[in-house]
Amino acid sequence: MKHLTPEKLAQLSSYPGIIDSHIHLDSQAFASDLDQCLSRAARAGVSRMLLPSTDESSSRRILQLTQQHPQLSGGLGIHPHQAAEFDPQRSPRVWRDFLQQSKWAAIGETGLELHYDFCPLQTQKQSLQAQIELAAETGLPLILHCRLAEEPLYEMLQPWAGKVSGVVHCFTGGWEWALKFLDLGFYIGVGGLVTLPKAAEVHEVAEKVPGDRWLLETDGPYLSPVPFRGFRNESCLLPLVVERIATLRKISAPEVVRQTAENAFSLFRL
């Protein structure tokens, strides 16, 4: 994964007020130059970033980062890739301990994964169910991962309609599924995939999603936008996503930023 060079950075625009609703700054990919990443993000206009947890150690690192950097907020939970770490006796106690130590913006990253076979689906469902219950208990929104798992995820969320909300991040399920999750009260996350020329379903969702129900994200260090494929994804690349979405929605780039920032502040109570 290549790092950005000064020459590449010089090509980027800046749009004040961007909120990156999903970036894994706690990962090892950012360990060597986190402060520089935060500075680059600020120059690109990114004012806030939300860091979703992947497991207990990730939550601990995010707790430290959010205490050190006021522009960062955290999501607390276990990713479906790591769902085998969920312990129905221990994990809820650990989460409540974390919740007492700091203000968290969300529960997750949780959800369901059916592309990779890292963890059995039933184990993922047990972890997800516990995190849905925690979201309902705390009133915090969910950050949901969904890859080739729209139907089982939707089925698990249906009984909680009106009781929990959140975002289905990096949405790739097509417009019909987007409508179903929107009807449940969820937001849709749009990131670097929207810049891929052949990502027709992602383009359609980005074009049609209501202006008050979508968020910007990187999912960094993954899913860098064109023309930075192969580079580590950072918040400073979000202006490229903003510009592509502005073209698709036939609105200005500042309007994309305004809509998504208002939505992030509303959903996560930043």
Domain limits for position 155: 6-268
Q: What is the pLDDT confidence band of residue 9, given thresholds at 50, 70 and 90?
A: confident
Interval 187-208 mean pLDDT: 98
Residue 149 lies in a domain: yes
Residue 245 lies in a domain: yes
* Mean pLDDT score across all residues of the chain: 97
Residue 217 is predicted with a pLDDT of: 98
Residue 1 lies in a domain: no
Residue 6 is predicted with a pLDDT of: 85
Q: What is the pLDDT of residues 117-126, one digit of tens each?
A: 899 999 999 9
Q: Against a cut of 0.95, is the pTM above it?
A: yes
- Look at the chain and report how many structural domains it folds into: 1
What's the CATH number where 61 sits? 3.20.20.140
Cβ-contact 73, 269 below 8 angstroms: no
Which residue's entry shows tokens 């059995």?
A: 120
Choose among 20, 155, 27: nearest CA to 81: 27
Query: Given a cut of 90, is residue 11 above it in pLDDT?
Result: no
Distance CA 112, CA 151 (A): 10
